[in-house]
Structure 1
Amino acid sequence: MKAEILGVRFVHEGWSRFGIATVRLADGAVVEREIEDHGNSVGVLPYDPERKVATLVRELRVPPLFAAGEQVQLEAPAGLIDDGSPEENGRREALEEVGLRLHDLEFVGATYSCASLTTEKLHLYLAPYGRADRAEAGGGAEGEHENIRIVEMPLAELAGMADRAELTDLKTLTLVLALRARHPELFAA
């Protein structure tokens, strides 16, 4: 016997939908599980291989503010996948948030951000850029009140933050570790 969803009742529908699923487990037990659904997303770590820097954002995230009093966290540019492919949406997010026009995206993986709760599948990419790729000011999409601050930092400093467990955003940590594993020459002294 395989697990089977018997029904879902949504208790809130807004930017996210929150529901309670009734599930028959493989052993026959019937249980309830919570589901948060807001669609899939994309995250991209833009890095300049010549200058050995990455461009990230600092942005208010209300859940960490609520849970731990953390005002902002350092993150790779990211957002929901709207129309188009994950790659197209990654390029759009990078342009909106950090003002970079990205060309080549290197796929890292697509993973569930928190499979015990959310349906979100996060598509992750690394993206080289150069000085000529700075196209706009960045700072976020008009009207979204993201209050983004752009941060360009040396890759060695970013790797140090990963080593000291100072990156609190999982997508950013994953992308930094992937960049270091795939392109270790960018981190050499």
Structure 2
Amino acid sequence: MKAEILEIRFIHEGWSRFGIARVRLANGAVVEREIEDHGNAVGILPYDPVRKVAALVRELRVPPLFAAGEQVQLEAPAGLIDDGSPEQNARREVLEEVGLRLTDLEFVGATYSCAGVTTEKLHLYLGSYGQADRIEDGGGAAGEHENIRVVEMPLAELAARADEAAITDLKTLTLVLALRARHPELFRA
């Protein structure tokens, strides 16, 4: 016997939908599970291989503020997938958030961000850029009130933060570790 969803009852529908699913497990037991659904997303770590820096954002995230009192979080640019491919959305998000035009993207993987709760599948990319690729200021899309601050950080400092467990955003940690594994030469002095 395979597990099957018997019913989903949505209790809130807004930017996200929150629901309760009744599920018959493979052993026949019927249980309830919560679901958060807001679509799929992209996360991108833009890096300059010549200057050995990465472009990140600092932005208020209310759940960490609620859970731990953290005012802002340092993270890789990211956003929901709207129309178009994940790659097109990745380029749009980087332009909106950090003002960079990316041409080449290196796919890292697509993974569920928290499979126990959300349906979100996060498509992760690395993207190299140069100084000529900064064509806007960044800061986020007009009207979204993101209040994003762009931070260029040396890759060595970013790696040290990863080693010290000081990166609290999972997509950013994943992308930093992927960049270090795939391009170790960028982290040498």
TM range (shorter): over 0.9
AA at the equivalent of 1:100: L
The match for 2:100 is 100
The match for 1:47 is 47
Instruction: Tell me the number of residue pairs that the alignment of Structure 1 and Structure 2 aligns.
Output: 189
1:36 to partner: Cα distance: 0.1
SS at match of 1:141: coil
The match for 1:130 is 130
Give the CA RMSD over aligned residues: 0.3
**Equivalent residues in 2 for 1:3-152, closer than 5 Å:** 3-152=3-152
1:148 to partner: Cα distance: 0.2
**Runs of 4 or more above 6 Å deviation:** none
1:33 to partner: Cα distance: 0.2
Q: Alignment identity in percent?
A: 85
AA at the equivalent of 1:133: D
TM-score, normalised by the number of residues in structure 2: 1.00
1:32 to partner: Cα distance: 0.2
1:181 to partner: Cα distance: 0.1
AA at the equivalent of 1:178: A
How far apart, in 2, do the equivalents of 1:165 and 1:145 lie?
A: 29
AA at the equivalent of 2:137: A
Task: Give structure 1 stretches of 5+ with no counterpart.
Answer: none
TM-score, normalised by the number of residues in structure 1: 1.00
How far apart, in 2, do the equivalents of 1:122 and 1:131 lie?
A: 28
For residues 64-110 of structure 1, give each alpha carbon's deviation from its aligned partner in whole angstroms, at most 9, with x where no partner exists.
Answer: 00000000000000000000000000000000000000000000000
SS at match of 2:21: strand
SS at match of 2:18: strand
How far apart, in 2, do the equivalents of 1:153 and 1:24 lie?
A: 48
How far apart, in 2, do the equivalents of 1:161 and 1:86 lie?
A: 28
